[in-house]
Structure 1
Amino acid sequence: MLKILDIRNFTLIGHLTMQFYPGFSVITGETGAGKSIIIGAIGLLLGNRADVRQVKRGCDKCVIEATFDLSVYHSDVLKDFFMDNDLDYDPQECLLRREINASGKSRAFVNDTPVTLATMRELGEQLIDVHSQHQNLLLSKEDFQLNVVDIMARDKVQVADYKASYDEYRAAIRQLDELREQISRNRDNEDFLRFQQKELSEAQLLPDEQEELEQKAETMSHAEDIKRVLHETDACLSGDEGGVVSQTRQVASQLHGIEDVFPEARSLAERLDNCFIEMKDISQDVAARMDDVEFDPALMDEVTSRLDTIYSLQQKYHVSNNSQLLEKLADIDALLSNIDNGDEELHALEERVEALREVCLKKADVLTSLRRKAAALVEDDISKLLVPLGIPKVRFKVDISAGELSATGIDKVVFLFSANSSTEMSPVSQVASGGEIARVMLSLKAMISKAIGLPTIIFDEIDTGVSGRVAEQMAHIMRDMGDAHRQVICITHLPQIAAAGTNHYKVAKAETAEGTVSTMTHLTHEQRVAEIAQMLSGSDVSQAAIDNARSLLEA
Structure 2
Amino acid sequence: MLTGLIIKNFALIDHLEVNFSNGMTSITGETGAGKSILLGGLGLVLGNRADLSTLKNTEEKCFVEATFSIQDYELKELFEELDLDYESITLIRREILPSGKSRAFVNDTPVNLSSLQRLGQELIDVHSQHQTLSLTQSDYQLEVLDALASNQSLLETYRTKLSIFKTIDDKLKKLLALQSEQKQDLDYSTFLLEELIEANLEPGMLIPLEEEEQELIHAEEIGMNLVKSTQIISAEQIGVEEQLNEIRSALQKVSSVSEKYNSLFERIESMKIELQDLNQDIQVQAEQIEANPSRLEQIKQMLQKIYDLQGKHHCQTVEELIAIRESLDQKVQSTATLGEDLIQLKEQRDVLLHELEELASQLTEKRKTTIPSLREELESLLSILGMPNARFKIDLQPSDRLLSHGKDNLLFEFAANKGSNFGPLKKVASGGELSRIMLSIKAILSRFKTLPTIIFDEIDTGVSGEVSYKIGGVMHEMSQYMQVITISHLPQVAAKGAHHFKVYKETKDQSTYTQLKKLQTEDRILEIAQMLGGEEISETAILHAKELLN
| Global fold match (TM > 0.5) | yes
Deviations 1:96-150 (A, max 9, x none): 333444453523122x466677776666555433324444111221110111112
Look up the match of 1:244: none
Contact 1:530 1:546 in 2 (8 A): no
Q: 2:457 is matched with which residue: 445, 457, 460?
A: 460
Query: 1:6 — aligned with what?
Result: 6
Equivalent AA in structure 1 for residue 168 of structure 2: A
Q: Which residue pairs with 2:328 in the alignment?
A: 329
Q: 1:406 aligns with which of 403, 406, 431?
A: 403
Secondary structure, counterpart of 2:484 in structure 1:
strand
Counterpart of 2:458, as a letter, is E
Query: Cα distance 1:303–1:136, how it changes in 2: closer, same or farther (>3 A)?
Result: same
CA shift, 1:362, in A, is 0.6
The aligned counterpart of 1:430 is 427
Q: How has the CA–CA distance of structure 1 residues 311 and 24 changed in structure 2, closer, same or farther, with 3 Å as cutoff?
A: same
Residue of 368, 371, 386 corresponding to 2:382: 386
Q: Distance in 2 between matches of 1:366 and 1:464?
A: 42
Give the number of aligned pairs: 463
| Match in the other structure for 1:139 | 135
Shift of 1:389: 0.7
Opposite residue 333 of structure 1, the aligned amino acid is V
Does the residue aligned with 2:448 lie in a helix, a strand or coil? Answer: helix
Rounded Cα–Cα distance in structure 2 between residues aligned with 1:355 and 1:175: 16
Tell me the distance in 2 between the aligned counterparts of 1:514 and 1:189: 86
On the 8 A contact 1:434/1:464 being kept in 2, the answer is: no
Deviation per CA, 1:443-487: give whole Å up to 9, x if none. Answer: 1111111222447321123225534322221112112323x2642
- Return 5+ residue gaps in structure 2 as ranges: 215-258, 260-276, 282-295
Check conservation: 2:199, 2:306, Cα contact below 8 A: no
Unaligned runs of 5+ in 1: 221-253, 255-283, 289-297
CA distance 1:203–1:19, shift in 2 (3 Å): same
TM-score (norm 2): 0.69
Q: For residue 493 of structure 1, report the CA deviation from its aligned partner.
A: 3.7
Query: Residues of 2 paired with 1:553 and 1:431: CA distance?
Result: 40
State whether residues 145 and 415 of structure 1, in contact with CA within 8 Å, keep that contact through their aligned partners in structure 2.
yes
Cα distance, 1:381 vs structure 2: 2.0
TM-score by length of 1: 0.68
Q: Distance in 1 between matches of 2:322 and 2:407?
A: 53
DSSP-derived class of the 2:447 partner: helix
2:547 aligned with 1:554:
yes
The answer to whether the 8 Å contact 1:5/1:17 transfers is yes
Contact 1:457 1:488 survives alignment (8 Å)? yes
Give secondary structure in 1 for the equivalent of 2:39: helix
1:355 aligned residue: 351
Distance 1:390 1:131 in 2: 19
Give, in whole Å, the separation in 2 of the partners of 1:493 and 1:316. Answer: 89
CA RMSD of aligned residues (A): 4.5
Q: Name the CA distance, whole Å, in 2 between partners of 1:550 and 1:68.
A: 37
The structure 2 residue matched to 1:156, chosen from 152, 157, 173, is 152
Q: How does 1:148-547 map to 2 (within 5 A)?
A: 148-190=144-186, 192-194=188-190, 196-197=192-193, 312-313=311-312, 315=314, 321-322=320-321, 325-326=324-325, 328-330=327-329, 332-334=331-333, 337=336, 342=339, 349-404=345-400, 405-454=402-451, 456-482=453-479, 484=480, 486-508=482-504, 517-523=513-519, 541=534, 543=536, 547=540
Measured in 2, the distance between the counterparts of 1:388 and 1:150 equals: 24
Q: How does 1:108-119 map to 2 (within 5 A)?
A: 108-110=105-107, 112=108
Task: Check whether the contact 1:99–1:107 (CA below 8 A) recurs between aligned residues.
Answer: yes
The more displaced of 379-388 and 303-312 is: 303-312
Distance across 2 between alignment mates of 1:477 and 1:105: 39
